[in-house]
């Protein structure tokens, strides 16, 4: 009975180590009750056995108390740079739901945009700054999330990593390989992580697809990967004017649908082949709606040639609905992820089966928890979010843009 009480204390202490705030207080109350009951039991135990049991309890208590104290460490101090990206609002809402990360500043030169975000999200105007210099002079920052135009990524990254601040930006990494290399050089020189956030990184379906294709090798050797991404167009779906102003600018975005949605496919394919670069890239772009998008493409198809399989990326602002799906075909079957929480699998002569993937676990369940873990040095950036993957993504997009311009296949240099 007494051993059971001690195990109860251990379980309560372990729970205490995983809790914070109100949950920490509830766990602590349960632990105190368990301690009280255990001490009452110990009064009836012979002294030698009592000394041994108290020694064991002390070891358990000291170990799990250190875990509890670690859980109570102060939240990371995160600044958001840029308010012109359409995903900035969702990211702020996510931050406001987190207890381990604190939003300590927002940077954007547009006063009207600052006022709108302050009102929409109930933020103090004192949190807003017109420049990075103003932010750094006003408060201490542990890390930075970037929601500027893609063209402005490089300037923000270079300024932040020089101060030792990890950076996470919304996809894609860069408008060109020149910008991508500058960011990689700055990150390596400072020894500070730079990562890229894609919505599709946090799809449980993609983790389940990885396990089947890479870990279990259930579909055999790869033969074709097809990735379809996009929607009916940024104007058609109601993107804000500050978002449209750079998203449809060939310099600030690097292109149109090719950059906006082509990056998703390049990111996923590169991940599935462990960073392998294609041998060649061939792309076709169109302006199906030049009256809406006169300066950039709104339709792009990219063909990637690898030694023993092909990758096909279909990026479009002309789909009849929003979509982000992937189909992976091998010599022994296929896996299709039509949406975030579903996969369809067919192996050999078996009928196709629908599966619901398991939920992702923290810190790999979303961009905020992942970035916080990177900043705290609990994990190393890898896979879809990594700089290494996204350098290859940028190389693919650069080659695709050149292929579309010339009408010719672009062979990538061998390394």
Separation of alpha carbons 130 and 103, rounded Å: 16
- Model confidence at 51: pLDDT above 90: no
**Confidence grade of residue 186 (pLDDT, cut at 50, 70, 90):** very high
First to last CA, the chain: 66
Q: Which two tokens stand for residue 25?
A: 């207080």
Structure tokens at 266: 């390049």
What are the tens digits of pLDDT across the range 65-90? 444 444 556 789 999 999 999 999 99
What is the four-CA torsion angle of 313, 318, 320, 322, rounded to 10 degrees?
60
- 49 band by pLDDT with thresholds 50, 70 and 90: low
pLDDT value of position 20: 46
Residue 404 clears pLDDT 90, i.e. is over it: yes
* pLDDT (mean) for 27-34: 52
Query: What is the model's pLDDT at position 55?
Result: 53
Q: What is the mean pLDDT of residues 42-70?
A: 52
Number of Cβ within a 10 Å radius of residue 210: 18
What's residue 415's pLDDT? 82
Predicted local confidence at residue 68, as pLDDT: 47
Compute the average pLDDT of residues 21-50. Answer: 53
User: pLDDT averaged over the chain?
Assistant: 89
pLDDT tens, position by position, 323-371: 999 999 999 999 999 999 999 999 999 999 999 999 999 999 999 999 9
Residue 309's pLDDT is what? 98
Strands 353-355 and 143-146: unpaired
Torsion of CA 26, 30, 31, 36, to 10 degrees: 140
What's the predicted TM-score (pTM) here?
A: 0.84
Report CA-CA distances (Å) from 415 to 277, 279, 337, 412.
10, 11, 32, 9
| Short-list 414, 395, 407, CA closest to 172 | 395
């Amino acid at each position: 009975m007494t051993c059971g009480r001690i195990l109860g204390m251990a379980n309560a202490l372990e729970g205490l180590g995983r809790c914070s705030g109100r949950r920490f207080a509830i766990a602590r109350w349960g632990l105190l009750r368990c301690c009280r009951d255990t001490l009452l039991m110990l009064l009836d135990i012979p002294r030698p056995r009592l000394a041994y049991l108290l020694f064991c309890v002390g070891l358990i208590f000291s170990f799990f108390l250190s875990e509890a104290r670690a859980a109570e460490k102060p939240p990371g101090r995160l600044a958001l740079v840029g308010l012109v990206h359409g995903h900035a609002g969702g990211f702020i809402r996510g931050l406001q739901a987190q207890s381990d990360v604190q939003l300590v500043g927002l940077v954007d030169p547009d006063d009207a945009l600052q006022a709108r975000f302050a009102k929409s999200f109930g933020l103090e105007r004192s949190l807003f700054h017109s420049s990075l210099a103003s932010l750094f002079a006003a408060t201490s920052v542990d890390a930075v999330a970037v929601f500027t135009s893609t063209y402005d990524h490089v300037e923000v990254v270079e300024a932040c990593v020089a101060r030792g601040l990890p950076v996470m930006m919304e996809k894609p990494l860069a408008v060109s390989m020149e910008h991508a290399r500058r960011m990689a050089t700055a990150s390596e020189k400072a020894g500070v992580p730079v990562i890229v956030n894609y919505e599709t990184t946090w799809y449980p379906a993609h983790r389940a697809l990885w396990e089947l294709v890479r870990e279990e090798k259930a579909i055999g050797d790869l033969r074709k990967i097809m990735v379809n991404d996009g929607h009916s167009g940024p104007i058609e779906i109601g993107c804000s004017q500050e978002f449209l102003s750079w998203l449809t600018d060939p310099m600030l975005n690097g292109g149109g649908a090719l950059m906006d949605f082509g990056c998703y496919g390049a990111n996923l394919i590169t991940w599935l082949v462990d960073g392998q670069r294609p041998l060649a890239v061939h792309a076709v772009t169109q302006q199906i709606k030049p009256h809406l998008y006169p300066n950039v493409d709104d339709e792009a198809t990219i063909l990637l040639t690898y030694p023993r399989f092909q990758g096909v990326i279909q990026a479009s602002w002309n789909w009849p609905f929003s979509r982000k799906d992937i189909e992976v075909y091998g010599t022994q079957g296929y896996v299709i992820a039509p949406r975030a929480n579903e996969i369809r699998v067919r192996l050999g002569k078996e009928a196709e089966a629908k599966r619901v993937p398991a939920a992702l676990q923290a810190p790999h369940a979303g961009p905020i928890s992942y970035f916080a873990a990177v900043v705290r040095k609990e994990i190393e950036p890898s896979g879809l979010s990594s700089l290494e993957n996204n350098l290859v993504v940028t190389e693919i997009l650069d080659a695709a843009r050149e292929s579309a311009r010339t009408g010719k296949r672009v062979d990538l240099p061998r390394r």
